[in-house]
A and B are shown apart, each in its own frame.
Chain A
Amino acid sequence: MTLTDPAAPAAPAPAPARPWALLAELTHACPLHCGYCSNPLELTRRSHELTAEQWTDVMGQAGEFGVVHTHLSGGEPLLRRDLERIVAAAEAAGVYTQLVTSGVGLDGKRLSALTAAGLRSVQLSVQHADPRASDRIAGRRSFGEKERAAALVRAAGLPLGLNVVLHHENLDAVDAVVELGLSWSVDRIELANAQFYGWGLLNRAALLATRDQLARARDAVERWRERLTPDGPELVWVVPDYFDGVAKPCMGGWGAISLTVAPDGTVLPCPAAASLPDLDPPNIRDRSLAWIWDHSPAFSRYRGTDWMADPCRTCSRREEDHGGCRCQAYALTGDAARTDPACRLSPDHGLVRALAEDSADERPAVRQRAPGRPEKARRLP
C-alpha cells in the first residue's frame, strides 16, 4: 500500500494538537459597565455558574490534557468568593494562573490569599490614564481602586500587566496610558484596539476609531518603542480589525491553541463563539474536555482549512490567518463560514470599509451595560 493508493482505507484522522491555554470565564458579574464589553448580550446568572468543585474538575482535566496556562477572567473573577479554591486547583494541576481583573475588590488580604493559593500573575484593566475619564468609561468610580491594586500586586512581587481597550474615547491618550504604566511599574502594557463582539457590537458606531486617530496612536506607540529600554515594560499593540484590510489570525486558529469555558460550563473555541446561532457548543457538565476538544462537532467545525470556501480555500495566507474570525464573519455577513470581511480579499470587505470611512461622522452615545442584570440586557435590540 502506498500513500497515494486510492483504494487504501482512510486512516483515522490524527487527533488535533492539544490546547495550551484555557480562558476560564468564572462569572459574567462585573462591577464595571464598559460599553465595549465583548461578553454576550445574554449573561449567565450567578445561580447558573459552575461551582468551585466543577472548576476544580475542569482545571484537573485541563492540566491532564496539556493546558499549561489559564486566564481567570469574567466579568470580574474577584466576585467569586471561592476564587482562591479555583486558583489552588489550577496550581495543583500544574496550570500557570493569571488573574484578569478590574482591580475592584482587590485588597491586601485577598491578594495574600490568592498568592498563597498559587496565583502567578495579574492583568489589570484600566479604561483611561485620566482618573475621571477612566471612571466615566467604566461607568463607576474605580480608578483609585485600580491604582491601589497595582501597588499591591507590585508589592507582592507578582508580574503585572496593564490592559487598556482602545476606542474613540481614549485612543488619543496612548502617551498618557504608557506613562501611567511606567509610573505603576508594570511589566507589560497591552494596548488592545476594541474588537466588536457581544455588547460592544451594539456600541460600534460610538466606539469605532477614526483613521487619523489610529495613525496618531500608532505613531505614539512607535515613539515609545524607540524610547523604552529592554528592562522597561513590554508594549503590545493589538491591531484594529477594520482599517488595515488584513484579517487577524483569530485565536491562532479555531480549536488550535486555546479554549474557553464560559461561566455556565459551555466550552467554546473562543469567547465570542457563543454568538454563533447554530454552533451547539458542548458543556463541561455533560462531556469530558478531551472529547470536546478531539471530537465535538463545535470544535471540529472550522478547524484547519477544509471548511474554507473561496477566496480563503486557495489563499497562500490560509495557514497564517486561518480565514480570520468566524464570529466577525457571522456578525457582519450572517454566515460564519465566509471569509472574514476584515480581509481585503473578502467579497464582503466593502462592509468593513464603509464602517471605517463613516467613523468620523456624528456618533451616538455609548450605551453602558449593567452586568448582573441580564434581564435588562435582553430588552435592548
Chain B
Amino acid sequence: MTATSVTDWRPVPAPAVLLRHDHTRDRDLLLLPERVVVLQGGAGTVVGLCDGVRSVRDIVDELAERFPGAPVAADVPPFLERLRHKGWLR
C-alpha cells in the first residue's frame, strides 16, 4: 500500500459496522456482530467523517482545520488503515 493510494481512499464503514454515540456512557462505539468497540478520544469523530465520499486527504484536511495543532496528518491515516485491516472500514 503506497501513501498515495491511502490518501485517495474514500473510507466507509463496512456494512456490518455501525458507528453510534452511546449517550448512557458518553462514548462513541462501533457496533459489530458479537462485538462492541469503545472508541477512545477523537476516534469517533474521525470515523464519523468516513462517509465514502471524503478521501483520507479530505478527512485529514478537515480535522486539521477543526483541531489546529493536533497531529492529524501523522496519526489519522495509519488509524484508518488499522480499521481497514480489521475489516471495519472499506
Q: Which residues of A contact B (CB under 8 A)?
A: 18, 20, 64-66, 68-69, 94, 96, 98, 120-121, 123, 157-159, 161, 187-188, 230-231
Interface 9-mer from B28-36, B41-49, B64-72: B28-36
- The answer for the CA separation of A18 and B32 in the assembled complex, in Å, is 19
| Nearest CB of B to A87, in Å | 14
- The answer for the CA separation of A159 and B22 in the assembled complex, in Å, is 23
Q: Does B53 contact A (CB under 8 A)?
A: no
Contact of B25 among A18, A96, A187 (CB under 8 A): A18
Query: Could you name 29 residue pairs across A and B whose Cβ atoms are closer than 8 Å?
Result: A18-B24, A18-B25, A20-B36, A66-B22, A66-B25, A68-B22, A68-B29, A68-B31, A69-B31, A69-B36, A96-B20, A96-B31, A96-B32, A98-B33, A98-B34, A120-B16, A120-B18, A120-B31, A121-B16, A121-B33, A123-B33, A158-B16, A159-B15, A159-B16, A159-B33, A161-B33, A161-B34, A187-B16, A230-B85
A18-B25, A157-B15 known; A68 vs B34 contact (CB < 8 Å)? no
In the complex, chain A residues whose CB is within 8 Å of the CB of B33: 98, 120-121, 123, 159, 161, 187-188
- The answer for the CA separation of A120 and B20 in the assembled complex, in Å, is 14
In the complex, chain B residues whose CB is within 8 Å of the CB of A121: 16, 33
Q: Which residues of B contact A (CB under 8 A)?
A: 15-16, 18, 20, 22, 24-25, 29, 31-34, 36, 85, 87
- The answer for the CA separation of A188 and B16 in the assembled complex, in Å, is 13
| Nearest CB of B to A16, in Å | 13
- The answer for the CA separation of A65 and B34 in the assembled complex, in Å, is 19
Total A-B contacts with CB atoms under 8 angstroms apart: 44
In the complex, chain A residues whose CB is within 8 Å of the CB of B85: 230
Chain A: CB-nearest residue to B31: A96
- The answer for the CA separation of A65 and B24 in the assembled complex, in Å, is 7
| Nearest CB of A to B26, in Å | 11
Q: Is the interface of A mostly helix, strand, loop or mixed?
A: loop
Chain B: CB-nearest residue to A121: B33
- The answer for the CA separation of A121 and B29 in the assembled complex, in Å, is 17
In the complex, chain B residues whose CB is within 8 Å of the CB of A230: 85
| Nearest CB of A to B75, in Å | 23
In the complex, chain A residues whose CB is within 8 Å of the CB of B20: 68, 94, 96
- The answer for the CA separation of A98 and B36 in the assembled complex, in Å, is 13
| Nearest CB of A to B47, in Å | 16
Chain A: CB-nearest residue to B35: A69
| Nearest CB of B to A201, in Å | 26
In the complex, chain A residues whose CB is within 8 Å of the CB of B25: 18, 66
Chain A: CB-nearest residue to B16: A159
| Nearest CB of B to A267, in Å | 18
In the complex, chain B residues whose CB is within 8 Å of the CB of A65: 24
In the complex, chain B residues whose CB is within 8 Å of the CB of A96: 18, 20, 31-32
Chain B: CB-nearest residue to A95: B31
- The answer for the CA separation of A20 and B24 in the assembled complex, in Å, is 11
In the complex, chain A residues whose CB is within 8 Å of the CB of B16: 120-121, 158-159, 187
A94-B20, A231-B87 known; A68 vs B36 contact (CB < 8 Å)? yes
List the 9 closest A-B pairs by CB distance, nearest first: A66-B24, A121-B33, A159-B16, A96-B31, A159-B33, A157-B15, A98-B33, A18-B24, A68-B31
In the complex, chain A residues whose CB is within 8 Å of the CB of B29: 68
| Nearest CB of A to B1, in Å | 14
Chain B: CB-nearest residue to A231: B87
In the complex, chain A residues whose CB is within 8 Å of the CB of B15: 157-159
